[in-house]
Amino acid sequence: MFFTTKAEYGVRLLIELGRQPQDQPVSLKAIADAEGLPLAYLERIVALLKRADLVESKRGAHGGYHLARLPEHIAMDEVVLALEGSLAPMECFVDDRNDDGRVLCSHHDDSGRGCATKLLWTRVQVGVLKTLAHTTLAELVDFQTRQLHPKTPTPA
């Protein structure tokens, strides 16, 4: 299994926020009900998103969460990275994180012995990060909206 439910639930949470008007906050309870997810667990997940400056919160009654930016400017690499902690394809890839979320193999002084697989895992990791980076939240919101109301056929 690639990703845990943290990523799944977190992305669904963001989609839910993206479908709402941005001016007033949405409570976690509302999201949990709408998506059928456990509220207490969502709390911990949304905390990750907040720490990564992807959502903002308003406390107290009638409080809740809203996106920190427009859905068009939220790319999935940032989201998944925030939720999963890192995207290391293998144990030996230690969290020596670069600017683009890439993570490196710690066996660099092994003279290659024992880590010739490095080439393979690195290729996979970079591929995944690219795929994620090219998918925005706006796209996913749009995708779901079209699935629920299939009136307007996909415009290319």
**Interacting residues toward a second copy by CB under 8 A:** 1-3, 5, 7-8, 11-12, 15, 35-36, 76, 87-92, 111-114, 116-117, 119-121, 123-125, 127-128, 130-132, 135, 139-141, 143-144, 147-148
Q: Which residues bind DNA (CB under 7 A)?
A: 4-6, 25-29, 38, 40-41, 43-44, 46-47, 50, 57-65, 91
Report the nearest approach of DNA to the CB of residue 132 (Å): 17
Whole-number minimum distance, CB 49 to DNA, in Å? 9
CA distance 25 to 63: 6
Q: Is 2 exposed, middle or buried (0-12, 13-18, 19+ CB in 10 A)?
A: exposed
Of DNA, a second copy, none, which one sits near residue 50, judging by CB under 5 to 8 A according to partner kind? DNA
Taking the CA atoms of residue 146, residue 56, residue 40 and residue 87 in that order, the dihedral angle to the nearest 10 degrees is 70
Task: Map residue 113 onto helix, strand or coil.
Answer: coil
Question: Alpha-carbon distance 117 to 131, whole Å?
Answer: 21
Smallest Cα–Cα separation from 38: which of 16, 4, 9, 1?
9
Q: Which lies closer to DNA via its Cβ, residue 37 or residue 76?
A: 37
Are 14 and 74 spatial neighbours (Cβ–Cβ below 8 Å)?
yes
The site partner of 29 among DNA, a second copy, none (C-beta below 5 to 8 Å per kind) is DNA
Choose the one of a second copy, DNA, none that binds residue 6, judging by a C-beta under 5 to 8 angstroms depending on kind. Answer: DNA
Write down the least CB distance from residue 61 to a second copy, Å: 28
Strands 93-94 and 64-67: unpaired
Nearer to DNA, 29 or 130 (CB): 29
Judged by beta carbon, residue 56 or residue 84, the one nearer a second copy is: 84
